């Protein structure tokens, strides 16, 4: 199912708006990837202008910044402990 970011046909008050054109391809979005911890899997997605984006379906390592020494290290992800934005991410 596609995610559409165009006009919805409703006013903020709930009234109906008659949209005088079709849905356009540039108004399409995509569903969230929900990256998991595991062996690295990537998906290449075509974008506007023939360019590409790489979606991470699952990853094993992350770049972590140590604020005291100001160095970045590649570290293996062991587990998700907490996510205040969505507690269900920890359950996965």
Residue 3 lies inside a defined structural domain of this protein: no
Residue 61 lies inside a defined structural domain of this protein: yes
Q: Which domain holds residue 60?
A: 34-91
Q: What CATH number does residue 71 fall under?
A: 3.10.290.70
Residue 82 lies inside a defined structural domain of this protein: yes
Residue 73 lies inside a defined structural domain of this protein: yes
The pTM for the full model equals 0.70
Q: CA-CA distance, 12 to 24, in Å (whole number)? A: 22
Question: How many domains are contained in the chain?
Answer: 1
Q: What is the pLDDT along the chain (92 residues), one digit of tens a residue?
A: 688 988 888 999 999 999 899 999 999 999 989 899 999 999 999 999 999 999 999 999 999 999 999 999 999 999 888 888 888 888 76
């Amino acid at each position: 199912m596609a995610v559409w970011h165009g006009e919805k046909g409703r006013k903020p008050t709930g009234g109906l708006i008659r949209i005088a054109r079709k849905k356009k391809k540039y108004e399409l979005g995509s569903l969230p990837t929900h990256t998991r911890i595991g062996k690295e899997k990537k998906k290449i997605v075509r974008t506007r202008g023939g360019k590409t984006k790489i979606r991470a379906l699952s990853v094993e390592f992350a770049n972590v910044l140590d604020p005291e020494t100001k160095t970045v290290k590649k570290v293996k992800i062991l587990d998700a402990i907490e996510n205040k934005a969505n507690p269900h991410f920890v359950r996965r």
